[in-house]
Amino acid sequence: MPTRVPKGPKTFDNYIKRVVNFLLTLIPNSPTVKWWQNLGLVQAEMTQLQAYLTEWLTGNPAAPGAYELHSNAYGITKNEATTKEVGEIIVNFSEYIAPLLTRMDGSSNMTPTIRLLMNIGEPNPHHVKHTDEITQNCYAKVISTTGEKVQLKCSDEANSKRPCMLKDEGSIEIQVTYSVKPPSIDSTGRVVPPVSPVGPTDTTLAIWETSTKASFFLQEIPAGSTGKILQGFSRWADIHNMKRRGPWTPLPPTQIN
């Protein structure tokens, strides 16, 4: 899925406004459902995309965004600081939206018109090696919760001691949530994490992806997660054909230290 987020400030300005505003519009014939929901994003992800747009552009002379300062929109001359801030937003937004574009591209609601709007290239049939259904489970296990990082390893075997990628598939999707319920203690003194009714279709879950590694860190752990319970699911995905995804497999509930 070739995708190119523009790197120049002027072309990026057009891109971020076009994409974010489109995702916030209602789909045809619906009074409530917006495109971000229809293409598979969750509320937290759409909120973050909006935050990047607000950081970039506000339309308010009293509190201008980075690009308004950089482009001298309100008589403020650009300088080294504005140039640096504009560059950082472009990099951060590009990195954040990349896996979201991949997921949206795999949606059954994706169309050629939306691909053009988002700069998503059409799938290259010469790169699609497999069309069969992925039936294997992706078994993920938390191996470290030190500080603000959570490290996981994945394997195609439930009790494997070594992480490995599924042959011919190059991506793992991890979907997680953090329970606020405290763990309980059983009669032997063992900590028993609470299992809330979380399912793989729960729209409150966020998704992280890795395209190359079977052992990796989750990138954005919410502040104040110590003591909470990480719950979620994992599955294999084909990076050349994102419509091919395996079944969701539950992660063992784990308390964050």
Residue ranges and CATH numbers for the domains of the chain are: 9-117 (no CATH), 139-255 (2.60.40.10)
Tell me the mean pLDDT in the region 230-253. 77
Quick check: 230 and 218 in contact, CB under 8 A? no
Instruction: Give whichever of 25-34, 126-135, 149-158, 186-195 has the largest mean pLDDT.
Output: 25-34
At 1 the pLDDT is 44
215: which strand partners? 153
Beta-carbon contacts of residue 221 (< 8 Å; ≥ 6 apart): 148, 149, 150, 256
Q: Is the pLDDT of residue 195 over 60?
A: no
User: Taking the alpha carbons of 152, 50, 16, 32 in that order, is the dihedral positive or negative?
Assistant: positive
With beta carbons less than 8 A apart as the criterion, state whether 246 and 136 touch.
yes
Whole-angstrom distance, CA of residue 205 vs CA of residue 132: 27
Location of structure tokens 């339309």: 59
Both tokens of 80, joined, read 């080294």
Tokens of residue 91, six digits:
């990099």
Q: What is the pTM of this model?
A: 0.56
CB of 255 within 8 A of CB of 227?
Answer: yes
The percent of residues above 70 in pLDDT, for the chain, comes to 73
Highest mean predicted confidence (pLDDT) among 150-164, 174-188, 220-234, 238-252: 150-164
Q: Which amino acid is at 140?
A: A
Q: CA–CA separation, 234 vs 249, rounded Å?
A: 5
At 156, the amino acid letter reads D
Print burial letters for 216-238: b (CB count within 10 Å at least 16), e (below 16). Answer: bebeebeeebeebbbbbbbbbbb
Q: Is 147 left (phi over 0), alpha (psi -120 to 50) or beta?
A: left
Binning pLDDT at 50, 70 and 90, where does residue 182 land? Answer: low
Q: Hey, is 250 helix, strand or coil?
A: strand
Query: CA-to-CA distance for 252 and 254, rounded, in angstroms?
Result: 6
Give the pLDDT score at 98. Answer: 85
Indicate the helix (H) or strand (E) that contains 173: strand 171-179
